[in-house]
Chain A
């Protein structure tokens, strides 16, 4: 008769949805906590510790505030099945369509869980190698870690950037590395924000609104990449957020997260958007070292002949004290190829409407940096 005992006897059984959870500490080094994700992962932590009832209660609270959280509902289903001594995977094994629908939810929860545990475990290596010299003009930079399905906002006002917040994101159905229009992939590269469109002016599938980008950039065009309308936007009705791979190539956030992004971190035109397929996280010290090395090895003089001719113009001193394009304002390591850079510098004395010059660089066999020439 003792076999009737509920829950406690089966507490440590491995869960289908939580099979990836090895450790269970959930502190984050980011400045701003995410209410939804924090609460969801707290419930997942309780579940991994065998506290099924407490986990269900935590989810009940969460689902009052986020009734469309499919991950929340599926975790709750899993826990309640566990309380009856069954498991979600066994219960659903005869319906492939249900298992198919649960798979992305499982993946999403795993990605969120790993993010928070990584943030806790790796307090030193917190900066992506790409942010060599972010813009000081734009207060923020957006960095997307594609394998981790994560969008970060970095504060770049200080020479050493700080991660302010990060969000779980959905990317293209076919993954990343966009080559042509309609391939349902998210591009990899360095882009700029070009504008903001509020949701009420868009189709409902964009949710709260959309930040637009300048994909394809000069490098993409030189590589004959096509497509357009790669945006960062909210979520369609009926979903808290989508699974990890569900868009046509855009990067999407839950509407709550998107609202946080655009209201708490107002980002102007030209804010850099770095979309990385193979992030390399490093310490601030290492990143600063890299920047110093690069700044001394990048040739300052411009490759644009007409700018060099400036000294022949009347009224202009014959010898420039330095190249007109003095210092690099921004330097980013280009994703996909670690040996490529994108830089931006400004034409001086163009006043409020400073003209930006973007250049792409590649490192040759001898280790020196050369501009990648693009046909106009």
Chain B
């Protein structure tokens, strides 16, 4: 078993990245589900990839759920905090998004993407507050407006190509 898994892994991953490149997300999702079911190894990377695919196929709620469960099971990994934060920000939940990013930075204070995203949220909130200070009824100052420009963390080169 243990000898077989890495081989499967490598083979599966190669086709997975091809499917991703060709934007065949449904097939990629099926492939990942198969891989998760057939491995006894640490599934963080697969689950993380799966969450991204769920989002790409419009299954936002399932993606959120996956990120949340990844945070629960791997609280020391900064990436799920970031990507869930991105989803929240795009829904206009900037405070929750910032809270997640701060929690993510707690696991790794030097993670550039999280830092940049958090800065982006603060800048956006500051800009909205500034608008409110000039005119509290400015529709562009609404704190619940979505912020879609946060960066998503993709699986690192190391975990997809090995």
Q: Is the CB of B136 within 8 A of A73?
A: yes
Using known A-B contacts A70-B133, A76-B129, A102-B133, determine if residue A4 contacts B112 with beta carbons closer than 8 Å.
yes
Residues of A within 8 A of B126 (CB): 76-81, 84, 88, 91
Contact of A70 among B115, B123, B132 (CB under 8 A): B132
Given contacts A84-B119, A238-B137, contact A1 B110 (CB under 8 A): yes
Number of interface residues of B (CB under 8 A): 24
Does A33 belong to the interface (CB within 8 Å)?
no
CB <8 Å contact, B109 and A4: yes
Chain B residues with Cβ below 8 Å from A6 are 102, 105, 115, 118-119
Is there an interface contact between B136 and A238, defined as CB atoms closer than 8 Å? yes
Name the interface residues of B118-162: CB closer than 8 Å to any CB of A.
118-119, 122-123, 125-127, 129-130, 132-137, 141
Q: Which residues of chain B have C-beta atoms less than 8 A from A81's C-beta?
A: 122-123, 126
| B110 and A98 contacting across the interface, CB-CB below 8 Å | no
Residue of B nearest to A5 (CB): B109
B110 touches A4 (CB 8 A): yes
**A160 part of interface (Cβ distance < 8 Å):** no
Q: A4-B110, A4-B115, A5-B109 are in contact. Are A80 and B134 (CB under 8 A)?
A: no
Contacting residues, chain A, for B102 (C-beta < 8 A): 6
B130 touches which one: A69, A83, A98 (CB < 8 A)?
A: A98
Expressed in whole angstroms, the Cα–Cα distance for A79 and B123 within the complex equals 10
Within residues 304 to 339 of chain A, which ones have a CB less than 8 A from any CB in chain B?
Answer: none
* 8 Å CB interface, B61-117 against A: 95, 102, 105, 109-112, 115
Judge whether A2 is part of the interface by a CB distance below 8 angstroms: yes
In contact, B134 and A67 (Cβ under 8 angstroms): no
Q: A77-119: which residues lie under 8 A (CB-CB) from chain B? A: 77-81, 83-86, 88, 91-92, 98, 101-102, 105
Known A-B contacts A1-B110, A4-B112; A83 and B136 likewise in contact (beta carbons under 8 Å): no
B: which residues have CB within 8 A of A? 95, 102, 105, 109-112, 115, 118-119, 122-123, 125-127, 129-130, 132-137, 141
Interface of A with B (CB < 8 Å)?
1-2, 4-6, 60, 67-71, 73-74, 76-81, 83-86, 88, 91-92, 98, 101-102, 105, 238-239
What are 23 residue pairs bridging A and B, where the CB atoms are less than 8 Å apart in the complex? Answer: A4-B115, A6-B105, A6-B118, A60-B95, A69-B136, A70-B133, A73-B132, A77-B126, A77-B130, A80-B123, A80-B126, A81-B126, A83-B119, A83-B122, A84-B122, A84-B123, A86-B123, A88-B126, A88-B130, A92-B130, A101-B133, A105-B133, A238-B137
